[in-house]
Amino acid sequence: MTGAPRAKRLNAEARRKSILQAARRAFSETGDMNGTTIRAIAEKGGISEGVIYRHFESKDQLFFEAVVEPLSEAVDQLVAATEVVDRDEPLTPERQIETLEGLYRQLISTLEEVLPLLGLVLFGDPQVAKRFYRESFSVAMDRLAEAWREVEQRYGFELESPDIAARAVMGIALMVSLESRHKPRFDVDRAVKLVSEGTRDGFFPAIGDPS
């Protein structure tokens, strides 16, 4: 009588991926790198701590490969999304709105997908947060500002403080993504339309000279 078939052993690459998945779940559940132990990660993966140490030198390495690197890749997508503001097409009021709506949709979609990891990194270990913000997140906003400067040069108009404008747009997209993720009935289409118009026109009307 033959025994039950043994589970197939994973090769090194597959094992690393399974450990990273387990680590991502463990870090996300605790919300803190320092509060997550190698033992907790091993339990999530159904393996021993020794197996983890055969593939990763430390918990810090695990955190960067499981959380920070995927998040940095997602931010690279945000950088690519900023290219939408720099197309070779005639700039009309309608085209401005269409372009801004496309930009907001891409930013919101990407941010909503990575919100759990984003919160874990930005509001976790201060040194990790500083490094990620400077090397990745801030880069996306700087690229957006550069794209707007290129539009300025092409059409001969001047945007006041594109670096601040880019950060305002990213902040709006982040808040809309939070609303979308946590409010089931939140109308994303309406929000994108309104914030696009508001970004183009300004959110508050200018107060005229009372005299």
What pLDDT does residue 74 have?
A: 85
**Polymer length in residues for the chain:** 211
Q: Looking at the structure, do residues 86 and 51 belong to the same domain, yes or no?
A: no
Give the percent of the chain with pLDDT over 90: 31
61 in any annotated domain: no
CATH at 183: 1.10.357.10
Give me 197's structure tokens.
Answer: 């118009």
Residues 26 and 76 placed together within one structural domain of the fold? no
Say if CB 181 and CB 112 are below 8 A apart.
yes
Considering the entire predicted model, what is its pTM? 0.79
Confidence of residue 102 (pLDDT cuts 50, 70, 90): confident
Of 5-9, 29-33, 132-136, the range with the lowest mean pLDDT is 5-9
Q: Give the pLDDT score at 3.
A: 44
Q: Let me know whether 52 and 134 are in one domain.
A: no
Q: What is the per-residue pLDDT across 173-198, written as a single tens digit (0 to 9) for each?
A: 999 999 999 998 999 999 999 999 99
Whether residue 147 sits in one domain with residue 190: yes
Q: 91 and 27 in one domain? A: no
Whether 100 has a pLDDT exceeding 60, the answer reads yes
Would residue 210 count as lying in a domain?
Answer: no
Asked whether residue 1 carries a pLDDT value surpassing 70, the answer given is no
**Same-domain status, 114 and 88:** yes
Do residues 45 and 129 share a domain?
no
On whether both 18 and 98 belong to a single domain, the answer is no
**Domain match, 71 and 49 both:** no
- Give the structural domain span for 40: 11-56
Is residue 153 scored above 80 in pLDDT? no
Residues 163, 104, single domain; the answer is: yes
| 72 and 158 part of one domain | yes
pLDDT value of position 189: 96
pLDDT-derived band at 13, boundaries 50, 70, 90: confident
Q: The CATH number of the domain where 46 resides is what? A: 1.10.10.60
Domain count, the chain: 2
How much of the chain, in percent, has pLDDT values that exceed 70? Answer: 85
What is residue 7's predicted lDDT score, i.e. its pLDDT?
Answer: 39
> Is 67 buried (19+), middle (13-18) or exposed (0-12) by CB count in 10 A?
buried
Residue 209 belongs to a domain:
no
Residue 46 and residue 150 share a domain:
no
Q: Give domain status of residue 158, yes or no.
A: yes
Q: Is residue 25 one of the residues assigned to a domain?
A: yes
